[in-house]
Structure 1
């Protein structure tokens, strides 16, 4: 595995486009990424993380225009996107095309979609393939000594050892400061519903929507 700095984005881009795995820093924690249309690469992440069946990877869209090309955005989804993207919010969105959804099964249908700030967003904009990402930790390991997703390079190495995953590139971004989840909102339902709380607070979501958001 090659360890690089955030300035060497071309190396990360080539690894993703060649079907490899790349671990990148976010302000929340480190995330492991792959080509969302590469079933082999995505399945290796899901298997290594021991991720529950039906729990999708995130689809990191490069821009709002790209998001509109692939997904159906309700008026509520558009209001939330305008308020919080790029940022720490993911929306469950229906695909425009069922065949495209089938080609990207790892990110689900509806898909878990975000536009990310920082290196993750830069990577999504630079690659010529759709980008999938998920936290660098083994799923379901929530015992009293479980630190959660990796926030340091040392913890990334521990995750890779535990999962058996063979990442091609690790982007060293130092310590990730927030150590918290993205907020998830279901915009597939007729009325937006809060699925998981995270860095974007429920009050902020309600303020952007102009009405109290309910939980799923």
Structure 2
């Protein structure tokens, strides 16, 4: 079902429906500050598998979205100083960081070699859902090989009945994907350029390198 979160009453119903769906291991589509995402409870393996199946093709392990910076401390064993500095500067926002997750976590996001790509999005609807559900595995709300959805309605055209609740908040304000930085090595590496340019990242972590130029 699609809920128009631009209407206060529909927004409340939609957010409640999305929270219930995630807790039941079902899929939801929600707005972020980049493109729309399809999400599932990160700690429910069958829900994560359903997410990957819904996207079809060879979908990559999904990133994890969180609703609070403090949640990050519960997901990682140790957080590099560079990661803390970047989070302080750019979260919530369009920065995805790759860090080593705690080995005690009981989740299965795919072949990630003990790492997780994590982000705190700058969108009130997404944050409201995430603060109730906890960490969610979230990928772009489209079939593999098709254009990323910039509205929930576009996502529904591609994903149809595989998703329990669609939260519409209008066209994505800035559909540029998030910037991805790998912080698992000795030197921070830019893996994917995006909404935050490397020049701004270097203001915070001067030693970051562009992995594409290596």
TM-score normalized with structure 2 length = 0.86
Matches within 5 A, 1:26-175: 26-52=32-58, 55-71=60-76, 72-96=78-102, 98-100=103-105, 103-106=107-110, 108=112, 109-118=114-123, 119-127=125-133, 129-141=134-146, 148-161=147-160, 166-175=162-171
Q: Unaligned 5+ residue runs, structure 2? A: none
Q: Distance in 1 between matches of 2:199 and 2:145?
A: 29
- Choose from 174, 188, 195 the match for 2:191: 195
* Aligned partner of residue 92 in structure 1, secondary structure: strand
Equivalent position SS for 1:105: coil
Deviation at 1:63, TM superposition (A): 1.9
C-alpha deviation, 1:38, in angstroms: 1.1
Work out the CA distance in 2 between the residues paired with 1:107 and 1:116: 24
Choose 118-127 or 44-53, whichever is displaced more.
44-53
Q: How many residues align?
A: 203
Q: Which runs of 4+ in 1 moved over 6 A?
A: none
- Given that 1:58 and 1:107 are in contact with CA atoms closer than 8 Å, whether structure 2 keeps it comes out as no
Structure 1 stretch 22-31 or stretch 186-195: which is displaced more?
22-31
Q: Secondary structure at the match of 2:162?
A: coil
- Spell out the pairing of 1:9-20 with structure 2 (5 A cutoff): 9-20=15-26
**Equivalents in 2 of 1:107, 1:181: separation in Å?**
22
In structure 1, the gaps of 5 or more residues are 142-147
Counterpart CA distance in 2 for 1:23 and 1:107 is 24
* 1:115 Cα deviation from its structure 2 partner: 1.2
What is residue 3 of structure 2 aligned with on the other side? 3
How far does residue 212 in structure 1 lie from its aligned partner after superposition? 4.7
How far apart are residue 107 of structure 1 and its match? 8.5
Per the alignment, residue 145 of structure 1 pairs with none
Cα RMSD after superposing both structures: 2.0
